[in-house]
């Protein structure tokens, strides 16, 4: 079973498969520290401070998460063999992502 932990539907080419959002959004937690402005524009430093709303691994269950969330999970020592991220994008003529060619496994 694949559970989509992103806020948007993940659609395969020509709608061959679809993963609706589950209603739970797994996210990387960020720690933000103010930094000096650059050319008058405020800036900050950001560090990963864990993940939230990402269940632990379960038999026969895969979780679709953002790339940032998968990287944060790995950085914080979570097993990532059950995580998937959207693969190559298919865009419309305006450049908007409409579908994905596949899902990528996280190593």
- CA-to-CA separations, 19 to 36, 38, 48, 76, 82, in angstroms, rounded: 42, 41, 27, 27, 16
Q: What is the pLDDT of residue 6?
A: 97
60 contacts 1 by C-beta, under 8 angstroms: yes
Q: What is the pLDDT of residue 18?
A: 97
Q: Look at residues 28, 34, 32, 67 and name the one whose alpha carbon lies nearest to residue 46.
A: 32
Residue 11 has pLDDT above 90, yes or no: yes
Domain ranges of the chain: 2-105
pLDDT band at 67 (very low <50, low <70, confident <90, very high): very high
Q: What is the pLDDT of residue 107?
A: 85
pTM: 0.87
**Quick one: average pLDDT of 17-32?**
97
């Amino acid at each position: 079973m694949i559970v989509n932990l992103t806020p948007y539907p993940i659609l395969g080419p020509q709608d061959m498969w679809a993963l609706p959002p589950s209603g739970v959004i797994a996210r990387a937690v960020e720690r933000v520290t103010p930094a000096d402005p650059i050319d008058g524009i405020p800036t900050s430093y950001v560090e990963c401070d864990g993940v939230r709303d990402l269940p632990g691994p379960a038999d026969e269950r895969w979780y679709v998460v953002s790339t940032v969330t998968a990287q944060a999970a790995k950085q914080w020592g979570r097993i990532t063999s059950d995580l998937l991220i959207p693969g190559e994008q298919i865009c419309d003529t305006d450049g908007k992502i409409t579908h994905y060619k596949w899902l990528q496994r996280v190593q």
